[in-house]
Amino acid sequence: MIREALYVSAILFSIGVLGVLTRRNALILFMCVELMLNAVNLSFIALSRLHGVSGQVFVLFVMTVAAAEAAVGLAIVISVFRHYRTVDLGRIRLLRG
């Protein structure tokens, strides 16, 4: 079932990319990034059946980094919301030329 799990992982990653490209809500954009991280985790675990346990160890690291990223990212979202009163990424355009 390794190949099938890799298929599922690829489809989930593409759905995450689709969300990042189309959505303008900062929170949902973060959720799509989490979805992509999860898709990569699935492929790590599938391949750890072939290449030993280090894939599973790496998934642990990915989970930790995802937790740290969520904490800092959501703090940034709160900070941006205080400043602009919105989480609409289409309306946060200070750095746009």
Partner 1 sequence: MGTFYTVHFWLFSALAIVSALAMVTRRNPVAAALWLVNVMFALAALYVMLGADFLGAAQVLVYAGAIMVVFVFVVMLLNLGENDVKEQRSMGVAVAASVTACLLAAELLYMIRSQPISSAALTTVDGDALSPIANSLFTDNLVAFEVTSVLLLVAVIGAVVLAKRGKVANVVRS
Q: Does 53 bind partner 1 (CB under 8 A)?
A: yes
State how far the Cα of 32 lies from the Cα of 38, in Å rounded to an integer.
10
Q: Does 83 bind partner 1 (CB under 8 A)?
A: no
When binding is defined by CB under 8 A, the residue of 40, 70, 96, 97 that contacts partner 1 is 70
Q: Does 23 bind partner 1 (CB under 8 A)?
A: yes
Q: Does 2 bind partner 1 (CB under 8 A)?
A: yes
Contact positions vs partner 1 (CB under 8 A): 1-8, 10-19, 21-25, 27-28, 30-32, 34-35, 38, 41-42, 45-46, 48-50, 52-54, 56-57, 59-61, 63-72, 74-79, 81-82, 86-88, 90-91
